[in-house]
Amino acid sequence: MAVSINLAFGLSACAGLSVIYLSLWPGKMAELPMDAIGSVRFWGPPLVLILIVLAAWDHRRPPRPIKVRHWLLLGASPLLLIGSVFIAESDVPFRAAFRLARPGLEAAVPTAPSSGHDGSPLGRDFGPYLVDRYGADPRGGVFFRVRTSPGGWGIDTMSYGFTFRPNAEGTPFGGARYEVFPLGGDWYWFHASDDHY
């Protein structure tokens, strides 16, 4: 039983740290439940196999009383997960990571090329973020794309990133499902789909 409790705590710690790490990227927390469900076919079978082996191994050992430490670990496991989700949802890690990237992004704003469609290639790191494309939208705003994901059931692509003084109409990466969220000053993070321009 002690091995299973230690494993449960270790898995909770890994899952919690993964959630906090993923929260550093714009829009990733909204996709997290679907990503977890979609990837269960990869991590589910090995996890079930490990749990079966550990349960069989634990069952073969002579029973021993469970120590107080193990009960504490068992109680701390769900608290660790809940705390990690709370930290990630508070945007504190995301905002701290953006603060690292902000000076470099601000230096790149004046050099952003005007781009009406799909931005220009950049391929440069700003803090923890790799900006693959960027551009100054003719309608206003400079956009830095840090990641993409499938845009639902169609062939469209969702773009996520940061924007300086955004417009209300769209991005160089599309205007469908376009939203901006304040980060401070003239900076926002955005998501938009290329479903239509």
pLDDT digits (tens, 9 = 90+) for 12-22: 888 888 889 98
Domain residue limits, the chain: 2-90, 95-193
pLDDT confidence of residue 99: 96
28-38 vs 40-60: helix crossing angle, rounded to 10: 60
With bands split at pLDDT 50, 70 and 90, how would you rate the model's confidence at 105?
very high
**Which residue carries 């919690």 as its tokens?**
16
Does residue 197 carry a pLDDT above 60? no
Which residues have C-beta within 8 Å of that of residue 189, sequence separation ≥ 6? Answer: 26, 27, 98, 160, 161, 162, 163, 180, 181, 183
Question: What is the torsional sign of CA 29, 34, 36, 38?
Answer: negative
Does residue 4 carry a pLDDT above 80? no
Question: What is the torsional sign of CA 182, 123, 107, 101?
Answer: positive
Contact 179, 190 (CB under 8 A): yes
Cα angle 143, 148, 153; round to 5: 125
pLDDT digits (tens, 9 = 90+) for 49-101: 877 777 777 767 676 777 777 778 878 888 888 899 899 889 999 999 999 99
Query: Burial level of 45, CB count in 10 A (0-12/13-18/19+)?
Result: exposed
CA atoms of 35 and 109, how far apart (whole Å): 33
pLDDT confidence of residue 70: 76
Q: From start to end of 60-152, where are the E strands?
A: 120-126, 129-136, 142-150
54 token code pair: 């550990």
CA atoms of 59 and 44, how far apart (whole Å): 22
With bands split at pLDDT 50, 70 and 90, how would you rate the model's confidence at 152?
low
Instruction: Return the higher-pLDDT residue of 143 and 4.
Output: 143
pLDDT digits (tens, 9 = 90+) for 125-141: 999 999 999 999 999 99
